[in-house]
Structure 1
Amino acid sequence: MSIIFDNVLMLSQELLKIQGQLAPGITLVSAENLKTWLMDIQVMDANPIYQGNIFRLKFEFSNNYPIEPPEVVFVRHPDRPIPMHPHIYTNGIICLDLLAAQGWSPVQNVESICLSIQSMLTGNSKNERPPGDADFVRNNRLRPRDVAFHFHDNEV
Structure 2
Amino acid sequence: MASIAARRLAKELKEIHAEGCPVGINLLKADDFETWWFSIEVMGESLYKNEAYTLQFRFDAQYPISSPAVQFVVTDGHQAPIHPHVYSNGHICASILGNEWSPVLSVTAVCVTLQSMLASCKKKERPVDNDRYVRHAPDNPKKTQFHYDDDT
The equivalent residue for 1:138 is 135
TM-score by length of 1: 0.92
Tell me how large the CA RMSD over aligned residues is: 1.4
Alignment partners' CA distance in 2, 1:11 and 1:23: 17
Alignment partners' CA distance in 2, 1:64 and 1:105: 12
For residues 68-108 of structure 1, what are the alpha-carbon distances to aligned partners after superposition, in whole Å with 9 as ceiling and x for unaligned?
A: 000000002555431010000000000000001x2110000
Alignment check: 8 A CA contact 1:54 1:80 kept: no
2:106 to 78, 85, 109: 109
Q: Which runs of 5+ in 2 are unaligned?
A: none
Structure 2 counterpart of 1:140, which letter? A
The equivalent residue for 1:43 is 42
Alignment partners' CA distance in 2, 1:127 and 1:90: 12
Q: Which runs of 5+ in 1 are unaligned?
A: none
Task: Confirm or deny that 1:147 pairs with 2:109.
Answer: no
Q: How many percent identity over aligned positions?
A: 36
**Equivalent residues in 2 for 1:59-98, closer than 5 Å:** 59-77=57-75, 79-98=77-96
Secondary structure at the counterpart of residue 2 of structure 2: helix
Alignment check: 8 A CA contact 1:30 1:38 kept: yes
TM-score by length of 2: 0.94
Q: 1:148 offset after TM fit, Å?
A: 1.1
Specify whether residues 79 and 52 from structure 1 end up closer, same or farther in structure 2 by C-alpha distance, changes over 3 A only. farther
